[in-house]
Chain A
Amino acid sequence: MSGVVIGLIVALSALRVPIGFALVAAVLVALLAGGGTTPAVIPLHLFSGAAKFPLLAIPLFILAGGIMSSAGISLRIINMASTLVGHIRGGLGMVNVASSMFFAEISGSAVADVAAIGSIIMPAMVQKGYPPAFTAGLTSVAASLAIIIPPSIPMILYAVIAGTSVTRLFLTGFAPGIIGGLLMMVVVYYKARRLGFPVERAFAARRVVTGIRDAGWTLLLPVIILGGMFGGIVTATEAAGLAVLAAFIIGTFVYREMDFRQLRALTLDGVVQTATVMLIVAASAVLGWYLTNEQVPQRFAAAVLGLTSNPTIVLLLLNLFLLVAGMFLHSAAAILLIVPMVMPLVRQLGIDATHFGIIVTLNLAIGQQTPPVASVLLTACAIAKQPVGAVFREAIPFIVVLLIVLALVTYVPIIPLFLPNLLQGR
């Protein structure tokens, strides 16, 4: 029966039934046909799947991100980054990556990052003579740093499903995010030398100071979010709440760039974004309950372990599986469907659940860039008004950077785990 359920989910999703509804429909059909269990367990599991405290961080980070984008915060981040790396060849390209690295400390969503940073920096880059498709491709992949560097909504989803600590998983993201960002800058530099991209103004320490002073209040946001969380003062959810408050105060009272209409619109957008992700969270709890009852994850683990029990090979297979899944699934859906299935296998092989969390996150960061389902790349294309094919071709070198980081993180676990081990012990 579980085979029929999975087949039904694939068929319904292919026909554009929204994923959350397809999951519930498949389990509903199985329960009605089986006749054993009352379908009233479906609303019960929908409810308990959504009622989890760490998940509250999702609407709050979405709301904080929305406020920050319309409060003039992204412009100040870009200006500050420009004083730091604008003097290098391919300056604005560097600024693009550096802005995303910085915005990543505030935002947990790559789509939010590409909208906030991209809508300002892409027109500026095109005006300076950067090819539009290259600009969109770079902006799109640089934005994926938002979910690798904490906070990160996919990491929250993973931690809730795998039952690990959100804060610990967040800490694994710094090293891969910084390595990835620097490697992207190397690619930009190489391209800039070959194609003659311009330099921004020469470096001046005085401008750096002004840039940091202008960004002043904005710089307070990562201090509140990351300091509160990693200092062990507040949970990730509470840090997200504080981020909303800080962004609101900075936006309304300090920069005075937000009015009631904007606040209303961004709150409603936040409601819709939250609900679309959370409906899949709730629905996947129903499916998870059904599959666990049918022992599917355990049987899957046994089947794979019957073939090989070598963690190196299994991790390679899991990476390939996640990369392919990321091409066809929205990142939240990919985590919610795949992680419960493979978790028993990961545990039996003795792979650290936090380590596997950063592996999953990187795979989905790549999945958001690879068509047909590529939420971030498609957003970048929509903002830049560029065709998907051309932008994807330009994005490939930067996607290769993410693949290199993924390989490093998978096979050199000390890279992601050094920081959490240092700060929190093993």
Chain B
Amino acid sequence: MSGARTAWLSRVSEWLVRALEAYTAVLMLMLAVIVLLGVWFRYVVQRALPWYDEFAEFLLVWLTFYGSALAAHRGAHIGFETLTDSLPPAARRAAAIFAEGVVLFVLIALWRYGWTLAQAASFDTALSIRAVRLSWIYSAIPLSAGLMVLIELRRLAALVRR
């Protein structure tokens, strides 16, 4: 029973990671394409794209936050390992569980206050394209934070079970 449930859970999370990978790869490639479009329009079409810098910056923020979720899945976020690596195994495990707790505390706050921010910005729009609301853009913070909560909970569970 529990075996079947874990198999189902790991299939869902596998699928989520695949989707996240495809999504962030597209963000990265779009970023390159937008910057190249900006150059193309300025020099070849000889008419600057008015939305180019602003939306390239938005893409970078999305890449930062959704990419952070992928980095969290791979355990790639930059940290200082020297001290914890020199601890005995039990203390190292305790420190790792504590660190996961701190990360979860930050993520839950980002999810909660990021949501507040996105709602507060629902009447603000992008400067270059008025139809785009800033709340859509800001949504990357609470959404990616929520995603990272799931990823970190899974890592925490693995740590506790070990």
Interface string of A299-342 (1 = CB under 8 A from B): 00000000000000000000000000000111011000000000
The verdict on B51 contacting chain A, using a C-beta distance below 8 Å, is no
Q: Say whether B105 contacts A25, CB under 8 Å.
A: yes
Select the stretch in A48-56, A167-175, A343-351, A362-370 that faces chain B: A48-56
Q: Least Cβ distance of A32 to chain B in Å?
A: 8
Q: Say whether B32 contacts A15, CB under 8 Å.
A: no
Q: Say whether B113 contacts A40, CB under 8 Å.
A: yes
Contacts of A38 in B (CB 8 A): 113, 116
Interface string of B1-38 (1 = CB under 8 A from A): 00000000000000000000100110111011001101
The verdict on A101 contacting chain B, using a C-beta distance below 8 Å, is no
SS class of chain B's interface: helix, strand, loop or mixed? helix
Q: Say whether B28 contacts A63, CB under 8 Å.
A: yes
Q: A271-B25, A279-B64 are in contact. Are A59 and B141 (CB under 8 A)?
A: no
Q: Least Cβ distance of B127 to chain A in Å?
A: 12
The verdict on B156 contacting chain A, using a C-beta distance below 8 Å, is no
Select the stretch in A182-190, A210-218, A240-248, A401-409 that faces chain B: A240-248
Most interface-central of A50, A55, A277, A281 (chain B CB within 10 A): A50
Query: Quick one: closest A residue to B119, CB to CB?
Result: A40
Q: Say whether B110 contacts A42, CB under 8 Å.
A: yes
Q: Say whether B32 contacts A328, CB under 8 Å.
A: no
A21 to B99 alpha-carbon distance, docked (Å): 10
Q: Least Cβ distance of A26 to chain B in Å?
A: 10
Query: Quick one: closest A residue to B110, CB to CB?
Result: A43
Contact of A272 among B53, B61, B71 (CB under 8 A): B71
Q: Say whether A18 contacts B77, CB under 8 Å.
A: yes
Contact of A53 among B53, B68, B71 (CB under 8 A): B53
Q: Say whether B71 contacts A42, CB under 8 Å.
A: no
Q: Say whether A276 contacts B81, CB under 8 Å.
A: no
Q: Least Cβ distance of A137 to chain B in Å?
A: 20
The verdict on B48 contacting chain A, using a C-beta distance below 8 Å, is no
Q: Say whether A44 contacts B35, CB under 8 Å.
A: no
Contacts of B81 in A (CB 8 A): 16
Q: Say whether B71 contacts A279, CB under 8 Å.
A: yes
The verdict on A203 contacting chain B, using a C-beta distance below 8 Å, is no
Chain B residues proximal to chain A, CB less than 8 Å: 21, 24-25, 27-29, 31-32, 35-36, 38-39, 43, 53, 56-58, 60-61, 63-68, 70-71, 74, 76-84, 95-96, 98-99, 102-103, 105-106, 109-110, 113-114, 116-117, 120, 138, 141-142
**Can you list 29 A-B pairs, Cβ within 8 angstroms, ordered by A?**
A15-B99, A15-B102, A16-B81, A16-B95, A16-B96, A18-B77, A18-B79, A19-B77, A20-B77, A21-B77, A24-B106, A38-B116, A39-B113, A40-B120, A42-B109, A43-B110, A43-B142, A47-B117, A53-B53, A56-B57, A59-B28, A60-B31, A233-B43, A245-B36, A271-B70, A274-B67, A275-B65, A276-B78, A332-B78
